[in-house]
Chains A and B, each alone.
Chain A
Amino acid sequence: MTAVTPAPPSTAVRPAPAGPVPPGRPAGRSRLRTLAGFAFGAALLFAVAPLVLSDFRLALLAKYLCVAMVAVGIGIAWGRGGMLTLGQGVFFGLGGYAMAMHLKLADAGPGGMPDFMQLYGQLDELPLWWRPFASPWFALPATVLLPMAVAFGLGSLVFRRRVRGAYFAILSQALAAAMVILLIGQQGTTGGTNGLTDIKGFFGYDLDDPVNQRMVYFIIAGTLLALLALTRQLIHSRYGELLVAVRDGEERVRFLGYDPASVKLVAYVVAAGMAGLAGALFVPAVGIISPALIGIVPSIEFVIGVAVGGRATLLGPVLGAVAVAWARTALSERFPGTWTYLQGLLFVVVVAFLPGGLASLWALARRRDVAAQPQRRGRLSLGRRRAERTEVPAA
């Protein structure tokens, strides 16, 4: 289900690319470091976390990791591709609703209807558009493919017309607002503001059982690692270099004979697929999907996590998303009355003093070593942007 291999843009198949060639790197060492990083991450997620965290905290971590998946996608679209997607909630919601609809139907049993439909809709039979979701063979692929299809449709329209910058951000946000209004208005068939709640089973597993909650956590952790591996391959491929080139100079890339629209489209669609997958896994982990999770505010919160972590790096978005979500929980538990101020303060401090995000702490530490060799930094005329681009992922 994570086979989200983006098609290479057709114009990009040239034997000798005219763009800047990615800086050569000893491939063996890099691969070893990556492997070590993944092994470390896997050990942390699969061994340490389940051992030291209570069932409740582990379930919270599962929720944070879902947000981190969305963040990985935003890292690609925004960090590497320069598209400020303020509407990832839409794709998260599509994935989440597709999964929740299936689980609700599975809970209701064959021929049954979700409880809320009789309550609010007074429907006698299942609406037509709900029916395909009864089959897991439709619902599971739909959690990823539906958001990707929507992103493809929207992206094809928008990127060809060269809509970008603030206009693109506004458009993506309008989409989130529209989706929320649609869901709330159709209370009888979507559950309205309540959303889809009270999900009891997950493919035959009782979600009330802590053992099964643990299994859901492992699935989520595994999926996140898989997405990270996929993303690493993507940003180190030639396509990844092209994407950064489009971000830094779209007109130049066009002039060189590439089609920036399709380059951006791939990144946008991949990000949407990741958000959809995250939404789908969020549902069994948290047991609810509602318009409150997919509107403008949560969509912005996804982006905040990425900004705090460092948008252009591989691990930055994950660290940022988990850190922000964790801080939210920790602060609100300790200071229920004033935590929102503290959270705001945190964002201000990070943005003001650490514009590259948490991941740039690593780079900052390294820069100190590099300071002895000024000629190397002097070559990077674009300063921080350039530094972001060549940032070697910590893992």
Chain B
Amino acid sequence: MSLFRGRRILAGAMTLVAAAAMTACGSKTTDEGGATGVTADVSGDTVKVGLLNSLSGTMAISEVTVRDSIMLAVEEINAAGGVLGKKIQPVGEDGASDWPTFAEKAEKLISEDRVAAVFGCWTSASRKAVKPVFEKNKALLFYPVQYEGLEQSPYIFYTGATTNQQIVPGLDYLKSQGAKSVYLVGSDYVFPRTANKIIKAYATANGMTVLGEDYAPLGSTEFGTIVNKVKSSGADAVFNTLNGDSNVAFFKEYKSAGLSAAAMPVVSVSIAEEEVKGIGTQYLEGQLTAWNYYQTTPGAANSKFVAAYKAKYGADKPTSDPMEAAYVGVHLWKAMVEKAGAFDVEKVRSASDGITFDAPEGLVTVDGKTQHIAKTARIGKIGADGLITEVWNSGKPVAPDPYLKTYPWASGLS
């Protein structure tokens, strides 16, 4: 007696359906480049741009501030007459801190809303998830966050720092301060792991010792063990690539273990003004950060940016590096479009080289070859008021070098 009573008709029908599915139309021959790039809809008197940030999930706390500053730039441009006479119409989507969602929303913005450019993404994983979408559709993304380098997509403009504009200057600064050994602490994801690879190569070439390397899962708040290891290592400095909430737990533990900025300074690359507020200045005072922009950066452009931001979102809202880079991205896109005289992606790309903008962080220049921008590196010290004051800068904008080709010690990295 069979346990599975035969239903031959049903089985037959299913086989047919399956066979139909397998042989369903598929074409192996496609014109070069596959999909025909979706062209942006610029027929009306407005031009749509996409805003793709996480408004929910773990990354929301950081990415919402980026969304706010993109909106500020859009309003400024619209108030000044728009781009090529067209007002910008922002279309917002929530990436939800989930990488496949980022890809889905990017596709939606490009193919359904037919936006002329997209501004957003924060984590490297979200950028990696949307990169094929932008390349397939030949659409533009402006990515505003410092990242681990080793990437150069023709359809992404990187307005945050690459490693030679942030991490390498940070290490140079530590070296100039006489640090002979470092301890590496980071969150367990791509940026810290890649950054630490670069740091180790730098250390080897510059006579520094890496005394330890520890990773905590994203969102982890358990740092007792790691801080004890850091303390007993006796390193001259700590290089911190932790992201998000973990910093709160790490610095609390750091202080309660009796460590301080004077005894063992920590250089952080993911703590900006917004995060300082969240962690608490009592834990952070005197610690170092490496960025390209601080709220305190001097200059008329920054005073205007900070004042406009506070007027729009509240006097207690700080401005930070990724926010500034996002703001700069929108203005750079406008300049590129106006130089090209069209919204067409390929024209915008070829017009990009040499575009400059008097940004809050100082003068920035687009490098058309790498599609990164030249930025001034700045090391800052966190003050008791929660603001970061610059203690060193590179003097002039550092040319972007995402693959670290001009650094002999990095030859094995890419």
Q: Using A194-B128, A209-B35 as known contacts, say yes or no to A38 and B3 having CB atoms under 8 A apart.
A: no
A210-247: CB near B (< 8 Å → 1, else 0) gives 11101100110111011001001110111100000000
B124 beta carbon closer than 8 Å to chain A? yes
Q: Select one of B1, B22, B101, B105 contacting A15, CB under 8 A.
A: B1
A362 interfacial contact with B, CB 8 Å: no
Smallest Cβ distance from A294 to chain B, in angstroms? 11
Asked if A193 contacts B190 (CB within 8 A), the reply is yes
Asked whether any CB of chain A lies closer than 8 Å to the CB of B24, the reply is yes
In the complex, per-residue mask of B8-40: 1 if CB is within 8 Å of any chain A CB, else 0: 011101100110111011111010011100000
| Contact status of A340 and B14, CB under 8 A, knowing A332-B94, A332-B96 | no
0 or 1 for each of B378-393: is its CB under 8 Å from A? (1 = yes): 0000000000000000
Asked if B24 and A214 make an inter-chain contact with CB atoms under 8 angstroms apart, the answer reads yes
Pairwise interchain contact A292-B10, C-beta atoms closer than 8 A: no
- Is the Cβ of A197 less than 8 Å from the Cβ of B132? yes
Which of A122, A209, A293 has most B Cβ within 10 Å? A209
A333 touches B93 (CB 8 A): yes
The one of A60, A63, A214, A293 in contact with B25, judged by C-beta atoms closer than 8 angstroms, is A214
Question: B190: which of A2, A187, A286, A333 is its contact (CB, 8 Å)?
Answer: A187
CB distance from B24 to the nearest CB of A (A): 4
- Is B17 a contact of A336 with CB atoms below 8 Å? no
Which chain B positions have C-beta within 8 A of A210? 35
State in angstroms the CA–CA spacing of A195 and B24 once bound together. Answer: 30
Given A54-B111, A221-B21, A290-B100: A195 in contact with B131 (beta carbons within 8 A):
no
Could you say which of A34, A59, A119 contacts B414, with CB atoms under 8 Å apart? A119
Report whether B20 and A222 are in contact in the complex, using a CB–CB cutoff of 8 Å: yes
Q: Is the CB of A211 within 8 A of B27?
A: yes
B13 touches A38 (CB 8 A): yes
B188 beta carbon closer than 8 Å to chain A: yes
Do B3 and A8 have beta carbons less than 8 Å apart?
A: yes
Contact yes or no, A229 B21, CB < 8 A: no
Q: A46-B20, A181-B217, A333-B93 are in contact. Are A194 and B125 (CB under 8 A)?
A: yes
B38 to chain A, nearest CB (A): 10
Q: Is A195 within 8 A of B93, CB to CB?
A: no
> B104 to A329, Cβ gap below 8 A?
yes
A56 close to chain B: CB less than 8 A: yes
Cβ of A35: which chain B residues have Cβ within 8 Å of it? 9-10, 13
Which listed segment binds B: A200-208, A248-256, A316-324? Answer: A200-208
Q: Would you call B112 and A56 a contact (CB within 8 A)?
A: yes
A218 B132 Cβ-Cβ under 8 A: no
Contact yes or no, A219 B25, CB < 8 A: no
The answer to whether A288 touches B103 (Cβ under 8 A) is: yes
Whole-angstrom distance between the alpha carbons of A226 and B22 in the complex? 12
Interface assignment of B143: CB less than 8 Å from any CB of chain A: no
Q: Is the interface of A mostly helix, strand, loop or mixed?
A: helix
Residues from chain B with a CB closer than 8 A to the CB of A355 are none
**Residues of A with C-beta under 8 A to B345:** none
In the complex, the answer to whether A122 meets B413 with C-beta atoms within 8 Å is yes
In the assembled complex, the Cα of A185 lies from the Cα of B111 at a distance in Å of: 35
**B113 closest partner in A (C-beta):** A333
Chain A residues in 8 Å Cβ range of B1: 13, 15
Minimum distance in angstroms from A288 CB to a CB of chain B: 5
CB distance from A118 to the nearest CB of B (A): 8
- Decide: A218 and B24 in contact? CB cutoff 8 A: yes
- Is B132's CB under 8 angstroms from A287's CB? yes
> Is A31 located at the chain interface by the 8 A CB criterion?
yes
Q: Does A273 contact B (CB under 8 A)?
A: no
B272 to chain A, nearest CB (A): 21
CA distance in complex: A14, B205 (Å): 75
How many positions in chain B have a CB within 8 Å of any CB in the partner chain? 63
Contact between chains at B99 and A290 (CB < 8 Å): yes
Contact, CB under 8 Å: B103 / A286: yes
A152 CB-CB contact with B under 8 Å: no
- Chain B proximity of A390: nearest CB distance (Å): 17
List, in ascending order, chain B residues with CB within 8 A of A290's CB.
Answer: 99-100, 125, 129
Q: Does the CB pair A337–B103 fall under 8 Å?
A: no
Known: A187-B193, A215-B25. A12 touches B3 (CB 8 A): yes
In B127-147, the 8 Å CB interface with A consists of 128-129, 131-133, 136
Measured CA separation A277–B125 after assembly (Å): 24
Q: Is B92 located at the chain interface by the 8 A CB criterion?
A: yes
Which residues of A sit under 8 angstroms from B412, Cβ to Cβ?
122
- Pairwise interchain contact B94-A195, C-beta atoms closer than 8 A: no
**Which interface residue of B3, B11, B18, B99 has the most chain A CB atoms within 10 A?**
B3
Min CB–CB distance B18 → chain A (angstroms):
5
Across the interface, which residues of A come within 8 angstroms of B128, CB to CB?
Answer: 194, 197-198
Can you name the residue of chain A whose Cβ is closest to the Cβ of B1?
Answer: A15
**B356 sits at the interface (CB 8 A):** no
A239 touches B3 (CB 8 A): yes
Q: Is the CB of B10 within 8 A of A336?
A: no
**Are the CB atoms of B132 and A198 closer together than 8 Å?**
yes
Any B CB within 8 A of the CB of A350:
no
Distance between A18 CB and nearest chain B CB, rounded to angstroms:
15
CB distance from A369 to the nearest CB of B (A): 27
Q: Which residues of chain A are near B217, meaning CB under 8 Å?
A: 181, 184
Is B256 an interface residue when CB atoms closer than 8 A count as contact?
Answer: no
Cross-interface CB contact of A226 among B17, B100, B108, B189, cutoff 8 Å: B17
Q: Which chain B residues border A79 with CB–CB below 8 Å?
A: none
Cβ contacts under 8 Å, B103 to chain A:
286-288
B55 within 8 A of partner (CB)? yes
Asked if residues A209 and B14 are in contact (CB atoms below 8 Å), the reply is no
A221 proximity list for chain B (CB < 8 A): 21
Within 8 Å of chain A (Cβ to Cβ): is B4? yes
**10 nearest A-B pairs in the assembled complex, by CB-CB distance:** A222-B21, A208-B34, A215-B26, A218-B24, A193-B189, A336-B94, A194-B128, A229-B14, A8-B3, A198-B132
A-B contact pairs, 25 of them (CB 8 A): A46-B21, A55-B111, A120-B190, A185-B188, A192-B193, A194-B124, A195-B129, A197-B129, A198-B128, A204-B28, A208-B30, A208-B35, A215-B24, A219-B22, A222-B17, A222-B18, A223-B18, A225-B17, A229-B11, A232-B10, A290-B99, A292-B100, A329-B104, A332-B94, A336-B93
